[in-house]
Structure 1
């Protein structure tokens, strides 16, 4: 019976299945591992703190919470509340998630049951577990946690975030319970192999005055059609192919707006360093000088199965294959604040080269060297300033921008220098 008590306490704090926790404890205890050490090991396995749960939770400010600091109590303002269905231990489970704030900062949370709090509520949450999620601490609110409503509102500098209303440009991977007013620019229906077998979803692009983002609707709704202006409440954001993606769950509500949402035809322009620091950005414009055209530019061959670029006739996934001819440019762009590799597809590369791929292949045959094409492209690009628009992804391999537009700027350098001096002087 004592083991059941410890298993239930751990499972509630960690938000995991009691029987799995009990089995883990039994496996450790049969090898004579002390109970306290066994409990710490189970906490570490499930992403919780290794501190003993027997110690009373300490009251902390959000800024002082660390993943290895044990269970905590916090008095906070609820900024957002999102609801989502996940599969856990092979079963579907509804969770509630969002963001909390106090005067010192904000923190994400996951609640494994509905505690009834709403955006704007001030609450004291007792005995909340802390885990690390995406490199940051997150509160894990389980059955052993308590939630009490405060009579006096918690003062925070984040009250403008209550309710989750956001522009598209402000959304980041990991956001939950957000609300956006947007227009559907593109939408398509497709069938994927989902967790319940073949599933039909909608995907496309959303836009507002600040920018554009891809979206996926996991419970396809008829109101999501091209040109529709909508208010989407309770969406979550995750990273897909290096950029933030808006996700609609079965709990998302869709309201058709009477007035059309204004959409900008231009992309937001950022400094390269600022864009790279922000991580992946969908539909962005950068301005910079081409420092170098990287190896792997010009005439290339791709695998006919996966479209990867071949190296010496070899695909790293499919081995020795017949390649398909293609062209691209990988240009290093610099604006003084950072660098990014702009990747141009065949159409943009042909425009830069000033001829078709067939022309380039004829030049390479005549010279008996493919590199002459890349050399000509480098002679055209290096040292000149270009405006590039496309999707930026940032990972361990660096920052890459898949270009949709690439053109030389016609700005007057003298005028820009004068404007910069005026800005600095101010």
Structure 2
């Protein structure tokens, strides 16, 4: 995308006052304001108009469009339009990630992150937007704090809106947050470390899987081409979703700068957009694809809702199939059953024709995880994702005696599990306390 295309809206405003000015020269000026002076394009309109007026010898006159600064107070992001400026709104700060940018040989700090509207309500009643801090407001934008933003503006890019916190904006802390803003660092972190929190990260990882996909827009206006896959390093693996083409291959070692970690259900996921930089990297000491096979293989005890590209080996406990008619009147068959490994048990659902017997060992690739009755359910869509093993990976497990002993402290911090046993001290009993029994049918 050219500078002119990126700043087309601002260029049009300048052309209203300076009709003879060159479009590309105007766009270049906006680029300089954004990259060198760290001034958001909408806030630079008046200055750019004045520059081109002076250059052409025009009489300097009032610029109503650029000077009008009517305050707009909003309670929700849905109240805001893509052209709104001088906005006042209360938000909750979710993440704040500083970045260093070189401007004329001098380091300047900007920051990215997430904020949520309706901060005094529960999380399920909030909407999350990205923001960019151009004015070094880090002291007042600590994660988990609630702040009032004054004099901010709305930015829209690729049909996605975000908030620009400008140098002239005011940030008032309404409720203290924490922890403190992390130190600025451009060094890559491990996948294990990156998975701990949401926010921007740099990674050094190998591409384990990569495939194109299509998602349909919620408003039904069309579809978007995307790419899905998996990154891995010696500390673990993580799925990624890219909104731009990935010009690399499975097995490539890549350095990713400016990626975003978001949680999909319970599972962290790397989001890649047009601001993310991905380049091939060479490091002879980095683990090969074969050496990473151990960290890319999951056990049932590791499964979390939302995981994708799961590779695992399981033992079949039971298997059945049923036929149903979907909403389009089509007759479908779904096959499912209980499976287990030494770390626990869960369900397996197959939307393809496979017919394992109890006691069989299956190797699954590219599976996904969704919840069924509150616990993980592995799902496969194609029969080529399933291999029936002839050699048993472990001694056959007796389902009647298979209860995995897990410490209570680990259960509190892990995901939902089945087929486990634990012990602890009862410290409170309420009227709704008790054992939940499900109908076996």
TM-score normalized by structure 1? 0.49
TM-score normalized by structure 2? 0.48
| Greater per-residue helix proportion | 1
RCO comparison, higher one (Cα < 8 Å, 6+): 1
